[in-house]
Amino acid sequence: MARRGGRGWYGRVLAAAVGVTAVATATSMWTAQAGPADEPGARTDVLVRPSAPNAPGRGAAGAPVSADIVHASDRGTHGVNITIDDGPDPVWTPQVLKVLRDNGVKATFCMVGTQAEAHPDLVKAVVAAGHRLCDHTVSHDTTMNTKSEAYQSQQILDAERSITKASGGVRPQYYRAPGGAFTPYSRHLAASHGMRPLGWNVDSKDFERPGTAAIMATVKSEIHNGPTLLFHDAGGDRSQTVAALRQLLPWLKQQGYSFGYPVR
Angle at 127 between CA 246 and CA 252, to 5 degrees: 25
Amino acid at 9: W
Q: Which of 71, 85, 119, 140 is catalytic?
A: 85
The three state secondary structure string of the chain is: CCCCCCCHHHHHHHHHHHCCCCCCCCCCCCCCCCCHHHCCCCCCCCCCCCCCCCCCEECCCCCEECCCCECCECCCCCEEEEEEECCCCCCHHHHHHHHHHHCCCCCEEEECHHHHHHCHHHHHHHHHCCCEEEECCCCCCCCHHHCCHHHHHHHHHHHHHHHHHHHCCCCCCEECCHHHCCCHHHHHHHHHCCCEEECCCEECCHHHCCCHHHHHHHHHHHHHHCCEEEEECCCCCCHHHHHHHHHHHHHHHHCCCEEECECC
Task: Look up 119 and say whether it is catalytic.
Answer: no
What's the CA dihedral at 164, 170, 175, 179 to 10 degrees?
-60
How far is Cα 40 from Cα 63, in angstroms, rounded to an integer?
26
Q: Which of 136, 188, 232, 233 is catalytic?
A: 232
Task: Look up 135 and say whether it is catalytic.
Answer: no
Catalytic residues: 85, 232
